[in-house]
Structure 1
């Protein structure tokens, strides 16, 4: 019998799974409504046009962790109001102090523009990163209705891409000013500490997997790899299972701030016409939840519960949760037979919790990494490979070492590119690979989309200051 595929996410209206566990064969039935010659074709052509180039990334003489050499840009929608540029100007002015003029740019995104035409308009092609034309570090300014998530996914294959999306220009200005202040202050308030938080619910395969196969090997290490915190001389605290309560998470956010926070939990999801969707989608479900069939606000953490007195300034957070970073308008995985993709929201949006952390009045976080859409168990246990925490370990280690957060996420975008290439080989009759079964094709489709949907919210050039953290 097929091992059920495990999806992340709890329906806030019912207290049940957003999508029940299913076999790979059932997933194949749901994925068959997406013909490769239609919706998928442009995706695969774009990604593979990058992969077929003789090299990827920056010129060999450019260190990607040196923002001054790699370059930095903001990208605003072509129709952006003047106050949007004015709000991000403090960050632009700050970057200009360390990035040469020919590598520090303000660029535009035009409605409906794909990644490849956008690059071509600026004089470069996929596979050719020229920081003097399009810098390596790219900060998108605007929500996914202005600059689509799809554009971010594809550009991030080669570039270090982040997004700043807020409800008001004042929130954007607060973030911009805070990054400049954090990087120039004489001291920082963050502890040299990594905090893990991961509920483990009874009769719930999803959080049992995330607690046992993700949080545990990261926090405790494995026979082959020490814990990433110890490898970088950081302290660590772990709240797992019974300790991963809502109160513990609130204490972490309202006490002395750690440098890094890593959470792995269910994210809350809501029907597209529910008034709770926009403020609570992606909220983190705590150990307090008693189980299926009942769920209330006391069981999950929303943006509104991060009080103005919280201490999240200078924090880098990784939120492994369904909809933890945002929500698309249409389901990236499932279709209704004969009706096409399932609508999940009136319009795509960035999640409220990371928005709150990145615009906090007591000092914003530096960056939040999370998932757009649901998170599948494939992120932790790919088919037939066992537990694979390498990309997560790599991200944490790079961030704690002081690398820019946008470069620290590259293992995720590289995995997405490799899986896209594998899926194309399945779909290309000239590739010379055995024709996959419907189940194998669906598994590859889901695994690839799951890898695609990790995004960075925040300035990709932001970084911790390891030598200045409180020991």
Structure 2
């Protein structure tokens, strides 16, 4: 087959005004043979205990990453009941890390190496919940952390939404499990475009076939339903089936990008970009689903451009511009680039999943793409078998069998890591040829692997990575806490703080945080209680704390001690 005759690469992006595909004809397969490859330092290092059950929070640990500053404090306070619940499940305090904003991939890798990974391996949480939007904790940080852990994110516009989500998780996890198999919905928007036609044929239908086969052998415990009118797509067809509790939804559609004349305002962009396009029938936006049941207690995997959000820099921007300069871009490159961030526009989590996660009758988790979503992720044209939908099936299988959402999402991260390793080996071989004075040869797999790597890197999990579909026996169950005797709310947490620095001394790289260990914190509290001001001054300087912060820790410390003493006097143990 001639290079120009290779199958086209299709993009799941539509214009928000008329909902027509932004790149109707796709890109020629040969276009990926000349990528402009950018590399950044990543540090894929896992402390995951392979000898323990992956779903076991007591063995794997659960922690929180929050941005430094007052807003980070407020978000932590808003999800305090969830933190206390996870602490009770894992039988120890939750570790909370305070993280600098807007880190690049290399800065995130440095933070991970110098801050996150410095403790004993058994003390490092494998499950990690990020708090804040992409302009607070970057998408690059989430990707770096995902290479060695189960990572999810909550990013709401109001603190009340954080409280609502935490309450929803506790409500589902403390309630009796749902009876019977989970409903598993497979929905394709058949809008007549080449992208959705290919997507249904090469992704949705094969994944559904694998699920049917596995279900016949009792390996996919779900009731399977294929949705989506093949001639007249409409949101009504989907909305009629999403009220059942504890279900799974896998959808394929275009995601709305910029209208042909551009977004009218930043708010319009944030509320519209990534909406689920139904072609001539319009779109589903967050506002449409804010006050109605939609996959309550379930999980939604949405295959569409910008379904999870919009980054500050697309991994494909430089590549698309390069193709346009070479005259190899079929269609209007500006129409695609118009949806990508420009200038000082902030990255953001899409309004659709944000609204649904805040909805008390919405899902517990959402998996989607944080960039342009291409057909490449399931075509993999470097492989002789041509189509690889199994990676997506593996995510769904993990969810319906009761794995936590973070474990399920790791199926995609695993494929990303394998692709990244193979790509690195090819680059290393080429560099060895170059340094040895040998003529370098262009391996055609380089372009294919680069495209696959970039595409897979865009998938992220929104929501707590420790949630699971409420079917069967829950992992690490706990009884509802007694408000009159709940010491978990007073457990001290291990946090990280940034050392103070003057504006003149700051550099683009993130400041190296100092872990606040329990013994050092306890010694400082003792000095405060004893009124030992000289010792207290030394402790505050060494820990990088101010006095009001330490006084708050003292209050928690003494409250927990009083609770423990009251139990001892009451029970006589």
TM-score (norm 2): 0.70
The question of whether the paired residues in 2 share the 8 Å contact of 1:399 and 1:464 is answered with yes
Q: How is 1:375-386 mapped onto 2 (pairs within 5 angstroms)?
A: 375-383=373-381, 384=383, 385-386=385-386
SS of structure 2 residue aligned to 1:200: coil
The question of whether the paired residues in 1 share the 8 Å contact of 2:61 and 2:126 is answered with yes
Q: Which has the larger radius of gyration?
A: 2
Determine which of 4, 7, 19 is the counterpart of 2:8: 4
SS of structure 2 residue aligned to 1:155: helix
Determine which of 239, 242, 253 is the counterpart of 1:265: 253
Hey, what does 2:272 align to over in structure 1? 280
> How far does residue 123 in structure 1 lie from its aligned partner after superposition?
5.7
Hey, what does 2:289 align to over in structure 1? 306
Give ranges in structure 1 of 5+ residues lacking alignment: 291-297
1:333 is the counterpart of 2:316: yes
Cα separation, 2, equivalents of 1:259 and 1:416: 27
Moved more, 87-96 or 192-201: 192-201
After superposition, the Cα gap between the structure-2 partners of 1:68 and 1:451, relative to the gap in structure 1 and judged at 3 Å, is same
Alpha-carbon displacement from aligned partner over 1:421-456 (angstroms, at most 9, x marks no partner):
222233333456995648653332221100111100
1:58 is the counterpart of 2:41: no
Cα separation, 1, equivalents of 2:292 and 2:180: 15
Cα separation, 1, equivalents of 2:149 and 2:17: 39
The question of whether the paired residues in 2 share the 8 Å contact of 1:87 and 1:170 is answered with yes
Moved more, 433-442 or 155-164: 433-442
Cα separation, 2, equivalents of 1:370 and 1:431: 38
The question of whether the paired residues in 2 share the 8 Å contact of 1:426 and 1:435 is answered with no
SS of structure 1 residue aligned to 2:306: coil
Determine which of 362, 368, 378 is the counterpart of 1:370: 368
Cα separation, 1, equivalents of 2:464 and 2:452: 27
After superposition, the Cα gap between the structure-2 partners of 1:187 and 1:60, relative to the gap in structure 1 and judged at 3 Å, is closer
SS of structure 1 residue aligned to 2:295: coil
Q: How many residues align?
A: 435
SS of structure 2 residue aligned to 1:59: coil
Q: How is 1:16-415 mapped onto 2 (pairs within 5 angstroms)?
A: 16-20=20-24, 21-28=26-33, 31-32=35-36, 36=37, 40-42=38-40, 45-47=41-43, 50=44, 56-81=46-71, 82-101=73-92, 104-113=94-103, 114-122=107-115, 124=117, 130-132=121-123, 134-186=124-176, 188=178, 192-202=182-192, 204-221=193-210, 225-226=213-214, 231-240=219-228, 241-242=230-231, 244-253=233-242, 255-257=243-245, 259-270=247-258, 273-275=263-265, 276-286=268-278, 289-290=279-280, 298-335=281-318, 336-337=321-322, 344-345=340-341, 346-360=345-359, 362-383=360-381, 384=383, 385-415=385-415
Q: How is 1:384-463 mapped onto 2 (pairs within 5 angstroms)?
A: 384=383, 385-428=385-428, 429-430=430-431, 437=442, 440-463=445-468
The question of whether the paired residues in 1 share the 8 Å contact of 2:308 and 2:369 is answered with yes
Hey, what does 1:293 align to over in structure 2? none
The question of whether the paired residues in 2 share the 8 Å contact of 1:267 and 1:282 is answered with yes
Runs (4+) off by over 6 Å: none
Q: Larger % of strand: which?
A: 1
The question of whether the paired residues in 2 share the 8 Å contact of 1:58 and 1:129 is answered with no
Moved more, 316-325 or 270-279: 270-279
TM-score (norm 1): 0.84
> How far does residue 307 in structure 1 lie from its aligned partner after superposition?
4.7
> How far does residue 108 in structure 1 lie from its aligned partner after superposition?
1.1
Give ranges in structure 2 of 5+ residues lacking alignment: 326-335, 475-573
Cα separation, 2, equivalents of 1:377 and 1:229: 30
Moved more, 374-383 or 189-198: 189-198
Cα separation, 2, equivalents of 1:15 and 1:267: 9
Cα separation, 1, equivalents of 2:397 and 2:305: 24
> How far does residue 283 in structure 1 lie from its aligned partner after superposition?
1.1
SS of structure 2 residue aligned to 1:329: coil
Cα separation, 2, equivalents of 1:222 and 1:140: 32
Q: Larger % of helix: which?
A: 2
After superposition, the Cα gap between the structure-2 partners of 1:17 and 1:178, relative to the gap in structure 1 and judged at 3 Å, is same
> How far does residue 187 in structure 1 lie from its aligned partner after superposition?
5.1
Cα separation, 2, equivalents of 1:376 and 1:141: 28
The question of whether the paired residues in 2 share the 8 Å contact of 1:370 and 1:454 is answered with yes
Cα separation, 2, equivalents of 1:230 and 1:355: 34
Moved more, 310-319 or 155-164: 310-319
Moved more, 272-281 or 257-266: 272-281
Cα separation, 2, equivalents of 1:228 and 1:330: 44
